[in-house]
């Protein structure tokens, strides 16, 4: 009987271990799945432009948002551009720190309609890169992108003429101040 209990206990421990492992792997695996499939409006990262440009055009709109805790100003240089499938475009977003302190921020993004995420490719992007701005500092952040010509093969997407790229900046955690830097050292007595 005790051998049977040991087997059940071992199986339960293995199951719990597998579930804990799955919980830790869930976020990276989900992010990988979204990047590969374009699920939930996730764009693809590209190393280079595609080899062909089609006559099919899209209006790409640009949206910028700030988390309520961000005293920054964040705007695209233009509200929209027209781009042909396969044509590479560069646009800039401008971000300004309006607070009296240095701040760190990280931007996330999405693309709508979500079905177009698998065909919206970025060669360069500031998303998920921490931006550090001093008080009053302004940065221009480039986005280099194209709409993959393979979108023309998706008959279900034939009616789509407008794609929106939306970014939201969130505060990033401030780095911890090392104890040695935080604690003032007493002055050395003069002899």
Q: What is the pLDDT of residues 36-78, one digit of tens each?
A: 544 444 455 666 667 789 999 999 999 999 988 789 999 999 9
As a whole-number percent, the residues of the chain with pLDDT over 90 amount to 58
Residue 21: pLDDT above 90?
no
Average of per-residue pLDDT across 104-109: 94
Bigger pLDDT: 141 vs 68: 141
Q: Give the per-residue pLDDT at 54.
A: 93
- Encode burial over 167-185: b for 16+ CB neighbours within 10 A, e otherwise: bbbebeeeeeeeeeeeeee
Q: Starting at the edge strand that comes first in sequence, how are the strands of the sheet with 131-133 ordered?
A: 80-84, 57-66, 162-171, 103-112, 131-133
Q: Give the per-residue pLDDT at 38.
A: 45
Mapping DSSP to helix (H, G, I), strand (E, B) and coil, where does residue 132 land? Answer: strand
Mapping DSSP to helix (H, G, I), strand (E, B) and coil, where does residue 45 land? Answer: strand
């Amino acid at each position: 009987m005790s051998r049977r209990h040991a087997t059940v206990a071992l199986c339960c421990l293995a199951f719990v271990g597998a579930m804990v492992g799955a919980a830790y792997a869930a976020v990276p695996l989900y992010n990988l799945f979204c990047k590969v499939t374009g699920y939930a409006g996730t764009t693809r990262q590209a190393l280079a432009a595609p080899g062909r440009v089609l006559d099919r055009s899209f209006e790409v709109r640009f949206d910028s948002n700030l988390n309520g805790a961000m005293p920054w100003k964040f705007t695209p240089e233009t509200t929209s551009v027209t781009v042909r499938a396969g044509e590479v475009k560069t646009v800039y977003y401008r971000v300004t720190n309006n607070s009296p302190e240095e701040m760190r921020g990280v931007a996330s993004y999405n693309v709508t309609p979500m079905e177009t995420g698998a065909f919206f490719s970025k060669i360069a992007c500031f998303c998920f890169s921490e931006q550090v701005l001093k008080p009053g500092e302004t940065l221009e952040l480039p986005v280099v992108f194209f709409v993959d010509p393979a979108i023309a093969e998706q008959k279900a997407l034939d009616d789509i003429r407008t794609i929106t790229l939306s970014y939201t900046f969130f505060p990033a955690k401030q780095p911890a101040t090392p104890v040695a830097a935080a604690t003032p050292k007493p002055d050395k007595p003069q002899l």
